[in-house]
Structure 1
């Protein structure tokens, strides 16, 4: 499909076909898409859990406003932010830059020192808000790739993060859940898949400046 046709095909799936599972190849594409998403400074203050255990999905449904997508989807992706983005985290990023690009220290160090100093001055809440913005960038990437791959998805903010964190032991992993993305294949019984998209006209949302 063309990009625009794929985006027209995509919708927030309300009911998945629980008899169909994504192939390992499809899951691998989504893993790579998540890892390749744009993030501020390239720091990637994110991790993603991929859950396909049906008992776990059933339990998570309890913490997701009883939304059936969570336990009928092939997989549930939980996008998380790093609870701590500190000097060690930033230094590790620049170690990867040096290793992969062979960038000399005299080029790396000024920017590295700037970021370490800048993040040291930020309140924890400010860093978390910044990281959450990166999670939404990743969600957008995943939704676009899902559409291109003809994978159905339903982005969700309607869940209880604290209960997800506790049930999935995310605090032990230095993580906080911020977004949930069930993925799989739409049920033929999902009437929403037949609805026309409702969007504002282009001339209302696009401003061209010569």
Structure 2
């Protein structure tokens, strides 16, 4: 696989072929990639909602300023953050470390206590912004994985998070939507697929010291 070639092939898909669906195997790659995304401290205060059912997606189109990709893509991915970061989030994380790596409690305890203290020191607003930063890492990772897998995608910030949260009852789950990523396969008549990429020369974008 030529990674650069696939990244050049990728573009923000404006028109999806509504008749084409991702296989379960492809969707599994996407969900696994999300779960393997790097997050600060490995705490994973983000969640991924995957919606295939078009009846559920129909009311979401208007709340995304009528962007058709929300409905016509094979699946709609919604990256969410936890509204609040609780002590149990940190405790559960370190319990997983203990179970998976058999790390002794005396080694984990000071790190766990420091991270709990750090999270408690964040206001709700700061905590949500911190989690949102992780969501963007996940978005970039998913877009790259999609390109490598030959899956089209379209990252979106243009939607009403408040309306999405209301329609999907995310507040009941303690979540807040922050990013959308419709995924699927481009329509043959999407003219944007043929446009040449516009980027700065590599010498202007990258500084090597």
Shorter-chain TM-score tier: over 0.9
Provide the TM-score with structure 1 as the length reference: 0.98
Deviations 1:96-121 (A, max 9, x none): 01000000011101110001011111
Determine the C-alpha separation between the residues in 2 that align with 1:206 and 1:49.
35
Q: Which residue of structure 2 aligns with residue 47 of structure 1?
A: 47
Deviations 1:110-147 (A, max 9, x none): 11000101111111100000000000000011000000
Provide the TM-score with structure 2 as the length reference: 0.99
Determine the C-alpha separation between the residues in 2 that align with 1:116 and 1:57.
37
Deviations 1:136-194 (A, max 9, x none): 00001100000000000000000000000010010111100000000000000100000
Q: Which residue of structure 2 aligns with residue 142 of structure 1?
A: 142
Q: Which residue of structure 1 aligns with residue 162 of structure 2?
A: 162
Determine the C-alpha separation between the residues in 1 that align with 2:53 and 2:61.
12
Q: Which residue of structure 2 aligns with residue 11 of structure 1?
A: 11
* CA RMSD in angstroms, aligned pairs only: 0.6
* Paired residue total: 209
Uncovered stretches (5+) of structure 1, i.e. residues with no partner: none
Determine the C-alpha separation between the residues in 1 that align with 2:13 and 2:58.
18
Determine the C-alpha separation between the residues in 2 that align with 1:134 and 1:121.
18
Determine the C-alpha separation between the residues in 1 that align with 2:119 and 2:52.
36
Determine the C-alpha separation between the residues in 2 that align with 1:197 and 1:120.
44
Q: Which residue of structure 1 aligns with residue 70 of structure 2?
A: 70
Matched, 1:114 2:114: yes
**Runs of at least 4 residues of structure 1 off by over 6 A?**
none
Which shows bigger deviation, 148-157 or 47-56?
A: 47-56
Uncovered stretches (5+) of structure 2, i.e. residues with no partner: none
Deviations 1:3-47 (A, max 9, x none): 100100000000000000000000000000000000000000011
Determine the C-alpha separation between the residues in 1 that align with 2:172 and 2:123.
22
Matched, 1:23 2:23: yes
- The secondary structure found in structure 1 opposite 2:66 is coil
